[in-house]
Structure 1
Amino acid sequence: NNTKVAVSFSDPGMVTFFRDNMNAMLEGGVNFVFCNEIEALEWAQTEDLDDAAVKLASICESYVITRGANGALLYDGEQRHTIASQKVDAVNTNGAGDMFAGAFFYALWRGTSMVSACEFASKAAGAVVCQPGPRLSLAASAMLRNAHFDE
């Protein structure tokens, strides 16, 4: 059916306590993996981010490793890209990973490259951590879209 499958590692605890089940699921074939740096290191059982990135590339077509203030690493199936973070004063990081993944897929749906999608996702996640809740207002969402997509 040409359906793409995306997996989020969700939380370091999920990786730690459900590693065997997670690995069995990943062996079934996934297109995208989203995780943060801590989750990637824990899943790969290493302290070296490059080692974790190589291991991730072996189980999926593409991945994004979010790194908070240090940006993100994107593997687009061919090469690794470093995506800059937004310089913000974070208030609450709840929802940042979900916002990143949702914004990434929205941008892909709009027809952008994976790099551009990651840049948009970084802006969206940067915006959501500047407020107390895990969602942007409709006005803030529209402003982000308009700025990135020149609407």
Structure 2
Amino acid sequence: MSILRAAAIVVAIVTLSACGNVHCSESCAQLGGKPTPRPPVATTPTAGFDVVITDTDRAVTVKSGQRIELVLHAKPGMSDWSGVNVDDYTVLRAVPTGIMAARGVTIAGYEAARPGTATIRATATPLCSPGEACPAFAMIFEVQVTVV
């Protein structure tokens, strides 16, 4: 067997074996692997909550006293959402959710404490291998919550 053919076989094995890992991307799936399934997006609140805010929401209006469940899904190649905070805790008060989040999902709970406007923010950064150059950027999630 020639060295060139042996090298081609090794490259093919490495490429295809990467498709069996847990973090298989869609391009990897095109090579025959199965892409990592994305968790379903919550559309209805869990018990004890009135409103769900997801990655796609940018503005929400709720009534005073309603409980809000924030559910954010990590994007491919990015870390889980972290640093979730509110700019006015007198408008939105943090409450425990009692929910165990799945891998790649960030969950937070709030109660609309009084009329006003508050912004919920979270950040995510690129996932980089150790020793690999990592781009210096962050994704920012932001949703404005108006309490009436």
Q: Same fold (TM over 0.5)?
A: no
TM range (shorter): under 0.3
TM (norm. structure 1) is 0.25
TM-score (structure 2 length as normaliser) = 0.25
Greater gyration radius: 2
**Structure that is richer in helix per residue:** 1
